[in-house]
Every structure is written in C-alpha cells, then in structure tokens.
C-alpha cells in the first residue's frame, strides 16, 4: 500500500470525523509529530488528526465540541468559559496546547478553550502520551495542536453566519502565489449560554472575538521567512458557589453579577534556510504569548492575573540519506531553546528554561519506522529534568495493517503559585519542587478493511504519574506545595472506527475505557470510566445535502459532594446531536443543527447543570 493511501486509511481510523466525504484530503503527515512533521504511516504514537472542514460539515462549531469524538480525551466544562481538556485521565495542565505552533499559557490549571471556534481551523492534531522530549515541558500527558487556515494557491475567501443558541459571524481570506502567501481571519460569537445553577435563572454566556493574520515569503530559493499574529478576547458570566451547601441543588447560586474577561495575544516570527539541495534545514523562531484574566466575583473583589511567555529556538535538521528533508526517510534533528515566563503585575513570578533536544526518525527496513527523542531542561527556578520517548510503526505488506507502539517520559513544570506561593500569607514558596513526571507505554493496531473504505484502531495504554505536586498544611493557616512520593496509575483502552459503508453513508465511532487513580488508590475526579460515541452521515446522491447524527454516552464519573465532603458518582448520560447541510449555490451552504436533541439532563461536575436542547441555523460560503 502506498504511503498516501495508507495515510488516508490511518486518518479515517484515528479521526472518526473524517469518515464522511471531504472536499480535500488531509496531507498525510502529523505536523506536530516531532521536531519536524512525520508521515502518518511512519508515526508510531497514538494520534488523532481531525479535518476542520469535515468537523464543520458535521455541525460542530467550537473546538470543545469537536474534541468529543477523540478517544482517550475528555472535555470537562462547568460553563462556557471553563472547558478543559484531559488526556488519559490526567489533569488539564498536563496537556500542552499549541495554536499555530505557539504554546498557550497554562499556568492557572490548564489552558481553557473557552469559546474557541472552528471557523478558522484547518486541522486539529491530538497526540496521546508523553511528548515532552519533542514538544517541551507541559506535554506530560499529550499535545493538542490547532492549526489555522493558510490557503491554497490563488485567491480564496469565505465566511459564515449563525443564529439560534448563539449568534456569530466569521470571515477569512487568503492569497498565495509562487513565492508566498498571506492569510487573514476574523470571528465574533455571542453564545447566550444557559443557567449553570440549574434553577432556570439568568444565563451564563460568553462573547468571543478573534483576529488572526499570517504570512510567509520566499526571499530566495533557499530562504523563507514568515510570521503569525493572533488576538482573542472572551467576556463571560458565571454563577457563584455556596460555601455551606446542604445539597447539590443549592451549591451553585444563580447570580447575575459575577463576570470575567480573558485576553490572549500571540505572535511568531520564523526563518528557514535550506542547504545542500534541501537535505539540511536551519530554522530560527521567536514566539511571544500573553494571557490576561480578570474575574469580578463581587462588587468588593476582583481577581486579576497576567502572564507573558517568550521563546527563542533554533533547530538544525539534516537528511542522512541526502534527500530533501520532506522526502527523507532518515532524519536527524537538533534543537536549542530558551523559554522565559514572568508576570508584569507580580515581579516575584519569574522563571527561565534552557533546553537541548535530539531526535531521530527513520525507516530501518521497508515498512518499519522508528522515532526516538531525548531532551534536557535546565531550569533556573526548580529542578532540572530529562525526558525521552521512542516509537515504532510497522506496516505489514499487502494487508496494510499497521502495528504501532510507543514509550516515553514527560514532565510538567511547576506553576508560579506552586513555586512562589502568595508571599507567605497562606502559601509558602518551595523552589525545591521537581517537575511532575508521567511515564507511559502503549501498543496498538490500525486495520484497514473493505478495500480501504474503512479502518479501525485499538490502543492499550499504561501510565504512571510521579512527583505529583500537592498542597500540604504546615501550620493552621499556612501550606506549601510539595512533590507527592506516591504514584498515580492510569491504564485503559482507546478505540476508533471509520467506515464509508456506501457512496452516500458513512459511519464512525469511538470508545474509551479507563482506570485513573491517585497515589492513595482513590478514583480521579471528573474522569469518565467509560465513554462511547457513534455517528453517521448520509449524503444525497448529487452531494448537495447531508444529514449527520452523533450519539455520545458518558458513565463512571466521580466528583466531590461539597455538602458532605465525600466522593460520589455522577449520573451517566447520553447526548444526541443532529445536523444538516444543503448547498444552495456553488460554495454556499445552508446549515442547521440541534445539540442535545432529547434535552437530556447531564453534568460534568457536581452541582453544575449541563446545557439543554439548543438549536442553530446558519449560512456558510467558501470560494
């Protein structure tokens, strides 16, 4: 089976949303697979690649909605502003989130997806298991890499409007010639939300505005330069919590005053220099990201945080077989990086890391590929750390069956408040903290069937989290963050299926079974033991219309009962989402969708009500 054919089969298996008709196939690579992009048939780690275009065709409107089809991944949401991603039962701050290659700041318990919409998304890559050796500290549990549109050759433009449960509009345009291109996009979305207290009172909504600009230019045949800029702002409302609840019903208090704001800005500059016919590639890049948040809880208290991150990195990549790097099956990369974090409003919060990384990937024999990476982080504010990973992919001849396996060790850097406390008022500093460490091994198989019209993948994993950072009291009024001496185990099975059953009917599915416990042997909170999803898309014979339905069942979630301070099981739930699409003219489509069609009661956290039935209609254009 050819590399491109196999890659299409793997994409189908690892990303159920791709099982329907797509106007354009995904490139057969994993962009974030290592220090350089990796062909999918050579990639041995557990990964899911989602096409933004295919996701929009199923009716998904936000990144949080799109990720519900990914095995091994859980999206926890108490309200619209608080959507967090957990991979394989780990906390959200062990997942590294990248947007166009720029790390998102996660120093406050994990990067919140908020109202991040799909309007400008080209593809989403989810890499499960430790990726820190290639991607840096923070990727202890995995990576969520989001890539925006860059545009094909020529002039392209489009946009969308939507009304119903949310009102939104987006526009985008791109121009690409032989020597470079420019892409711009803007989006606005006002989601009225729902009352998370469940009392039927004031709705807790979110308004998001996003603006992006990117471009690249080939100064010579061997030197290319580029940039990307992005700004986003969320304004949202939330309810307060009762500090002395008597039951789940009175834990969340309907309150129309609390509101918040978050702003993210990022920029990236980069340059590449090709030598020796493209077999040697130098890349120099500089990233800048800021995150500002303000939470107005009452007229008497406003919480505010501001964090800035700067990263300078150089990467040397060489093709050992003398081929251009993009075509080579023997690639060696070396990277040097410096990352600085600080807070403009808190001078005490400063840290810096110098890192060196080495990665090799290659085809050791026909159909058998390996990838090995090693990284050393030299930290100025806490202990140094070493991380590694290794992966194997073996494509069996004729059948196209792919066996894949990986092992690795990844870290998560201590957060500012864990390192420095609050000046000693309630939390003492601890500069002796070690990064949290996750060790993992997984094995799996991807099996194409029905003449490559379908494929399924099953992966078994086992992970161990050590040096977990926990809070301990040292006096009646003061505590300190320390590394737990115990081990937190996770193990489970991830599966996905995609099948183009007929020219008009496509089926998809995913399932995750997981056991996730802390060092005391207790179940981790807000981690489903079982999650199963099934979906189908029917397309009219002329391709103008389509109908999609997706069913998702979640069970086995534990959380804290704040009335009794005990751990309790949340009710399992099943949600059904449906959507339709009709092409009214070339490049123009009418869309409609209903989320939670049966209006099922559901909750991802004790005391918080989930969203009820919500309908939307819209119009999209793509030229």
**pLDDT for 90-149, tens place per residue?**
999 999 999 999 998 876 556 777 678 888 899 999 999 999 999 998 899 999 999 999
CA dist., res. 99 & res. 104, Å (int): 7
Residue ranges making up the domain that contains 521? 3-622
| Planar angle of CA 353, 356, 357, nearest 5 degrees | 125
Q: Per DSSP, which regions of 219-258 are E strands?
A: 223-237, 240-241, 252-253
**Residue 475, CA distances (Å) to 27, 328, 424, 427 in order:** 57, 60, 11, 10
Number of structural domains (the chain) is 1
Residue written as tokens 């494929």?
Answer: 455
pLDDT for res 523? 95
CA dist., res. 205 & res. 203, Å (int): 6
Taking a C-beta distance cutoff of 8 angstroms, is the pair 408, 390 a contact?
yes
Query: Which residues in the chain show pLDDT less than 70?
Result: 1-27, 107-110, 114
Enumerate residues 6+ apart whose C-beta is below 8 A from 267.
102, 227, 228, 229, 230, 287, 288, 289
CATH code for position 128: 2.40.170.20
pLDDT for res 24? 38
Q: Report the half-sphere exposure of 121 (CA within 13 A, side-chain side).
A: 27
Residue closest to 392 by CA, chosen among 410, 367, 374: 367
Phi, then psi, of 463 in degrees rounded to 5: -135, 155
Check residue 577 and report its DSSP letter: E
Taking a C-beta distance cutoff of 8 angstroms, is the pair 103, 311 a contact?
yes
The token pair at 563 is 């009335």
Check residue 68 and report its DSSP letter: G
H/E run at residue 12: helix 3-14
- For residue 304, how many other CB atoms are within 10 A of its CB? 11
Q: What is the pLDDT of residues 499-511, one digit of tens each?
A: 999 999 999 999 9
Taking a C-beta distance cutoff of 8 angstroms, is the pair 259, 236 a contact?
yes
Check residue 25 and report its DSSP letter: P
Round the average pLDDT of the chain to a whole number and report it.
91
Taking a C-beta distance cutoff of 8 angstroms, is the pair 149, 183 a contact?
yes
Q: What is the pLDDT of residues 495-549, one digit of tens each?
A: 999 999 999 999 999 999 999 999 999 999 999 999 999 999 999 999 999 999 9
CA dist., res. 173 & res. 158, Å (int): 6
pLDDT for res 8? 34
């Amino acid at each position: 089976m050819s590399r491109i054919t196999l890659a299409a089969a793997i994409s189908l298996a690892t990303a159920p949303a791709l099982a329907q008709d797509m106007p354009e196939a995904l490139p057969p690579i994993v962009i974030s697979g290592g220090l350089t992009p990796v062909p999918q048939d050579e990639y041995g780690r557990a990964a899911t690649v989602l096409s933004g275009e295919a996701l929009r065709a199923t009716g998904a409107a936000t990144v949080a909605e799109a990720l519900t089809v990914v095995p091994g991944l859980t999206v926890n949401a108490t309200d619209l502003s608080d959507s967090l991603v957990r991979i394989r039962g780990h906390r959200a701050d062990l997942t590294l989130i990248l947007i166009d290659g720029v790390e998102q700041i996660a120093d406050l318990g994990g990067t919140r997806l908020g109202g991040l919409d799909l309007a400008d998304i080209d593809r989403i890559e989810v890499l499960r298991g430790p990726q820190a050796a290639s991607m840096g500290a923070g990727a202890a549990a995995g990576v969520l890499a989001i890539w925006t549109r860059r545009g094909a050759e020529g002039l392209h433009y489009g946009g969308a409007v939507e009304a119903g449960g949310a009102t939104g509009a987006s526009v985008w345009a791109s121009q690409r010639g032989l020597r470079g291109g420019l892409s711009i996009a803007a989006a606005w979305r006002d989601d009225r939300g729902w009352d998370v207290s469940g009392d039927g009172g004031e709705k807790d909504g979110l308004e998001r505005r996003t603006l992006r600009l990117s471009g690249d230019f080939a100064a010579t045949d061997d030197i290319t330069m580029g940039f990307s800029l992005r700004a986003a702002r969320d304004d949202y409302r939330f309810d307060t919590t009762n500090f002395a609840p008597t039951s789940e019903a009175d834990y969340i208090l309907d309150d129309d005053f609390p509101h918040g704001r978050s702003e993210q800005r990022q920029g990236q500059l980069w340059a590449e220099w090709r030598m020796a016919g493209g077999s040697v590639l130098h890349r120099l890049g500089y990233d800048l990201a800021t995150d500002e948040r303000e939470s107005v809880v009452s007229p008497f208290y406003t919480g505010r945080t501001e964090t800035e991150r700067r990263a300078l990195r150089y990467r040397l990549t060489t093709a050992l077989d003398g081929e251009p790097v993009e075509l080579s099956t023997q690639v060696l990369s070396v990277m040097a990086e410096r990352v600085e974090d600080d807070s403009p409003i808190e001078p005490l919060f400063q840290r810096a890391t110098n890192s060196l990384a080495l990665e090799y990937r290659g085809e050791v024999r026909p159909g058998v590929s390996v990838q090995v990476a090693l990284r050393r982080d030299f930290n100025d504010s806490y202990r140094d750390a070493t991380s590694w990973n290794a992966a194997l992919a073996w494509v069996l001849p004729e059948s196209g069956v792919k066996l894949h396996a990986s092992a690795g060790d990844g870290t998560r850097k201590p957060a500012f408040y864990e390192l420095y406390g609050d000046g000693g008022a309630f939390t003492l500093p601890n500069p002796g903290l070690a990064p949290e460490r996750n060790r993992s091994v997984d094995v799996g198989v991807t099996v194409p069937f029905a003449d490559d019209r379908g494929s399924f993948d099953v992966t078994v994993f086992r992970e161990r989290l050590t040096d977990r950072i926990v809070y301990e009291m040292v006096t009646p009024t003061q505590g300190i963050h320390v590394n737990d001496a115990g081990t937190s185990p996770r193990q489970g099975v991830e599966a996905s299926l995609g099948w183009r059953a007929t020219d008009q009917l496509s089926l998809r599915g995913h399932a995750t079974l997981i056991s996730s416990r802390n060092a005391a042997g207790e179940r981790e909170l807000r981690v489903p033991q079982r999650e199963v999803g099934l979906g189908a898309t029917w397309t009219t014979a002329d391709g103008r219309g389509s109908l999609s339905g997706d069913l998702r069942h979640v069970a086995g979630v534990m959380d804290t009962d704040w009335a009794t301070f005990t751990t309790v099981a949340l009710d399992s739930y099943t949600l059904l989402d449906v959507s339709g699409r009709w092409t009214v003219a070339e490049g123009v489509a009418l869309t409609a969708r209903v989320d939670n069609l049966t209006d099922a009661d559901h909750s991802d956290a004790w005391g918080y009500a989930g969203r009820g039935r919500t309908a939307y209609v819209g119009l999209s254009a793509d030229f």
